Amino acid sequence: MSELAHEVEREQAVVDRALARLEVLRGEAARRERETLAPGVSTPQGVYERDVHALAAATRRVNLDAAGEGIVFGRLDVLEGAALHIGRMGLRTEDQEPIVVDWRAPAAAPFYRATAADPLGVVRRRTITCRGPRVVGVEDELLDPQAQLDGTVVGDGAFLAAVSRERGAQMRDIVATIQREQDLAVRAPDDGALVVTGGPGTGKTAVALHRVAYLMYARRDWYSRRGVLVVGPSSVFIDYIGAVLPSLGETSVRLSDLGSVPVLPRELTLDGDDDAAAAAVKGSDRMVGLLKGAVRHLAGAQRLRDVELTRWGFALTLSAEEMLRRKTQVGRSPRSHNAGRAAFVSALVDVLWRQWERRPGAQREEPGDREEFGRWLRDDPLFLTEVDRAWPVLRPVEVIDALRTGAVPLAKVAKGSYDDSEQQVLARAWPSTAYSAADAALLDELAALLGPPPEPESTDDDWDELAELEALAAAHEVTTFADRNRSSVRVPVLEADYRTYAHVVVDEAQDVTPMQWRMLGRRARGATWTIVGDWAQSAWPDVQEVRRAMEGVLGKARVRTAELSTNYRTSTEIAELAARVLWRIDHAAVAPAAVRSNGVDPLWINGSASDVPAAVATLLDQVAGTVGVVVPRSLRATWTFEDPRVSVVDTWQVKGLEYDGCVVVMPERVISEALSEVAGLRTLYVALTRATQRLVVVSGHDESWLD
């Protein structure tokens, strides 16, 4: 038996032991789940408690199921003590003997941080590669050659082998190959905000996701109770990273693209695609003033008039002047618009009640008569009509629709916030496009300005949850709260859903607009943050405006920074081409150092769009994994490919993604479609740094155009 085969066999015995223990734990979790859901609960409180225990058991089972693939991936041989095996989750025997140490545990930190210069007591670091339940390879790094070692050193480069593997449709975790500078960011204290910067390929997204898994491990009760939100730039990006956290045993984190952060009405879809100019205007924090102006316009759109009400033959008069005075008084308060309406109605009831008390022949009233009088007024159609004229209930979608249709004069409400050319951009974009991701942030801002609309009066036909729970219990029908809610949730309008998360992760932070930062801030009051990005990749025309918006949201929170300096994604050949664009963006900028060369220079084709299919076909023959066709946004619908390995993405969708081979189409058009040359160059820099192995550029110019 060869030395390698012998070492593989040794590690296989450990993996077999871990999988056997995992199977026992899975069986226990499944049994506990079945027992929890057994019939026999007879009260609503019992149903609720049963649901809580069932959820905990199901979560445990799901986490155990997710941990099976690659349960053991590393081993540490140390100067003192027994060797430690590192894995996706900690496992112990029934006698509490450790089998596998969780990668997030303090004991596992040297696996990521030990170096030859500072071995931290580690003699050998071994990476174990599994395919299903079988160990297929081991790679060793000897950190202390003078120490005694049990076994043979085998392999010659686990890390570079891992980063050179072909890519799939979804991002892999890097739990087995986290490097020292990445691990320092993953395990950084969670006492404020951690801002992780670094150029393309430095692993910022992977670090952020592994940090979430680490924080959930370190303070599970806290983060599980209040929740963790991970926000990315697009739905394509969210699909790409969706498998990472489950592979690390975390299944309870909310992943969301920027357009899906707020809860939108069911009938509203974000199918619109703003051009760069429209996105910039909608994203600026000057939009706050415009939206406030639109609300004021709609709130005062109708002229007030005198109204006369009759009760028991006595006339009550409410003058337009009195309504205006009360409206002005209430309007000075910090209440939201719809909350102000309730205060306004209460003020009008007071005015009319005093008239009623002073009517001729009035007797001393019973204490409850004031409330009865108020109920009578609120049921009077004429009174309600005049209240609606004076202080209408407003909903976010109604306000935006009024702007889109011109019912609110844009020139009036935008004056002082946007110049004529910017107003023309809005006037052109809003009526002609569907709602976009940028509009979602505006709807959320309006939800904060307006507040929730008044609750409708309940009727006998309304769903009675208590009655349904009692009926279910009586029938011994086993359901969960989530099951029942699927058919009963009603979201007729956009309402403020400002759940305060315990931790918020923002990826590609350089492209989060000021309005989107405000939206995120409403969900992170008192939260800790992980923010990752690279200002050199920002498509936003004014990077400093985005920085200020981010700093405004963070407020006085303690801010730690971590800079990743090593490019693990692109080859040195591709990195050199991208660095020429970075130099045009900022002569002083330093690109992250690429760690590997494959000897293949990028191919620059001086041609036209008709050359793209041939370029894709060539790449499919040259790489075993995925191929991305990165196009200007205006050309997104130009090509389709039957091969499932090929994805056509525009320069926005490609942010955060990576492919084995990339075809970048018409870089000159990428720049011309941006609001400025520097914004276009940043966008092109992103496109040129997505490939891990081979890059092809199809351009109407020769390569010298790049300089």
599-639 per-position pLDDT tens digit: 999 999 999 999 999 999 999 999 999 999 999 988 988 88
Residue 410 has pLDDT above 70, yes or no: yes
Please tell me the distance from the alpha carbon of residue 13 to that of residue 8, in angstroms, as a whole number.
9
Of 159-163, 240-244, 543-547, where does the model show the most confidence? Answer: 543-547
> For 67-121, where are the alpha helices, taking DSSP H only?
109-113
Q: Give the pLDDT mean for 306-335.
A: 88
Q: Is residue 537 part of a domain?
A: no
Residue 415 has pLDDT above 80, yes or no: yes
pLDDT of residue 166: 59
Q: Give the pLDDT mean for 484-507.
A: 60
Find where tokens 């009077």 sit: 380
Judge whether 651 and 630 are in contact, CB under 8 Å.
Answer: yes
Q: Is residue 368 part of a domain?
A: yes
Residues 14, 129, single domain; the answer is: yes
pLDDT band at 141 (very low <50, low <70, confident <90, very high): confident
Assign 398 to helix, strand or coil: helix
Q: Give the pLDDT mean for 434-461.
A: 81
Residues 385, 333, single domain; the answer is: yes
Q: Is residue 497 part of a domain?
A: no
Please say which residue of 129, 156, 183 terminates a domain: 156
* CA neighbor of 102 nearest in space, from 90, 91, 111: 90
pLDDT band at 488 (very low <50, low <70, confident <90, very high): very low
Please say which residue of 431, 450, 469 terminates a domain: 450
pLDDT band at 419 (very low <50, low <70, confident <90, very high): very high
650: its two tokens = 């525009």
Q: Is residue 482 part of a domain?
A: no
Assign 459 to helix, strand or coil: coil
pLDDT of residue 70: 75
Q: Give the pLDDT mean for 238-262.
A: 84
Judge whether 668 and 700 are in contact, CB under 8 Å.
Answer: yes
Residues 342, 289, single domain; the answer is: no
Judge whether 225 and 189 are in contact, CB under 8 Å.
Answer: no
Helix orientation angle between 677-687 and 572-585, rounded to the nearest 10 degrees: 170
pLDDT of residue 480: 34
Please tell me the distance from the alpha carbon of residue 233 to that of residue 351, in angstroms, as a whole number.
52
Residues 355, 428, single domain; the answer is: no
Q: Give the pLDDT mean for 342-363.
A: 85
Residue range 63-111, pLDDT digits in tens: 666 665 678 988 999 988 889 999 888 999 988 999 999 999 999 999 9
Residues 91, 60, single domain; the answer is: yes
Look up residue 189 and give its amino acid. Answer: P
503: exposed, middle or buried (C-beta count within 10 Å: 0-12, 13-18, 19+)? buried
Judge whether 327 and 442 are in contact, CB under 8 Å.
Answer: no
Compute CA distances 233 → 19, 180, 230, whole Å.
37, 27, 10
pLDDT of residue 266: 75
Q: Where are the beta strands (DSSP E) in 108-186?
A: 122-131, 134-142
Please tell me the distance from the alpha carbon of residue 444 to that of residue 258, in angstroms, as a whole number.
11
Residue 565 has pLDDT above 70, yes or no: yes
In three-state form (DSSP H/G/I as H, E/B as E, the rest C), the secondary structure along 584-598 is: HHCCCCCCCEECCCC
**Helix (H) or strand (E) segment spanning residue 222:** helix 220-226
Assign 162 to helix, strand or coil: helix
pLDDT of residue 50: 67
Residues 14, 115, single domain; the answer is: yes
Q: Considering its fold, how many domains does the chain have in total? A: 4
**468-483 per-residue burial string, b: 16 or more CB within 10 A, e: under 16:** ebeebbeeeebebeee
Arithmetic mean of pLDDT over the chain: 84
Residue 489 has pLDDT above 50, yes or no: no
Q: Give the pLDDT mean for 485-493.
A: 35
Q: Is residue 602 part of a domain?
A: yes
For residue 675, give the CATH number of its domain: 3.40.50.300
* CA neighbor of 259 nearest in space, from 403, 404, 444: 444
For Cα atoms 620, 625, 629, give the angle at the middle one, nearest 5 degrees.
60
pLDDT of residue 481: 30
pLDDT band at 542 (very low <50, low <70, confident <90, very high): confident
pLDDT band at 207 (very low <50, low <70, confident <90, very high): very high
pLDDT of residue 49: 66
Q: Is residue 123 part of a domain?
A: yes
Judge whether 426 and 278 are in contact, CB under 8 Å.
Answer: yes
Residue 435 has pLDDT above 60, yes or no: yes
Residues 44, 110, single domain; the answer is: yes
Residue range 145-175, pLDDT digits in tens: 777 666 667 654 444 445 555 555 666 656 6
Percent of the chain residues past pLDDT 90, beyond the cut? 49
Look up residue 286 and give its amino acid. Answer: R
Residue 466 has pLDDT above 50, yes or no: no
Q: Give the pLDDT mean for 48-63.
A: 68
Residues 293, 313, single domain; the answer is: no
Residue 470 has pLDDT above 60, yes or no: no
Lowest-confidence region among 150-154, 225-229, 350-354, 472-476: 472-476
Residues 383, 433, single domain; the answer is: no
Non-local CB neighbours of 280 within 8 Å, separated by 6+ positions: 540, 541, 675
Beta bridge partners of 652: none
Q: Is residue 422 part of a domain?
A: yes
pLDDT of residue 66: 60
Q: Which residue did the predictor score with more confidence, 230 or 142? A: 230
Lowest-confidence region among 11-15, 57-61, 193-197: 57-61
Q: Which residue did the predictor score with more confidence, 176 or 245? A: 245
pLDDT band at 398 (very low <50, low <70, confident <90, very high): very high
Residues 56, 143, single domain; the answer is: yes
Please tell me the distance from the alpha carbon of residue 518 to that of residue 440, in angstroms, as a whole number.
12
Judge whether 304 and 390 are in contact, CB under 8 Å.
Answer: yes
Residue 13 has pLDDT above 90, yes or no: yes
pLDDT band at 558 (very low <50, low <70, confident <90, very high): very high
Residues 579, 698, single domain; the answer is: yes
Please say which residue of 367, 390, 413 terminates a domain: 390
pTM of the model: 0.80
pLDDT band at 461 (very low <50, low <70, confident <90, very high): very low
pLDDT band at 314 (very low <50, low <70, confident <90, very high): confident
Q: Is residue 535 part of a domain?
A: no
Residue range 692-702, pLDDT digits in tens: 999 999 999 99
pLDDT of residue 467: 44
Residues 579, 443, single domain; the answer is: no
pLDDT of residue 169: 60
Range of the domain at 123: 3-156
* Residue 201 Cα to chain centre, angstroms: 20
Percent of the chain residues past pLDDT 70, beyond the cut? 84
Judge whether 212 and 253 are in contact, CB under 8 Å.
Answer: yes
Residue 579 has pLDDT above 50, yes or no: yes
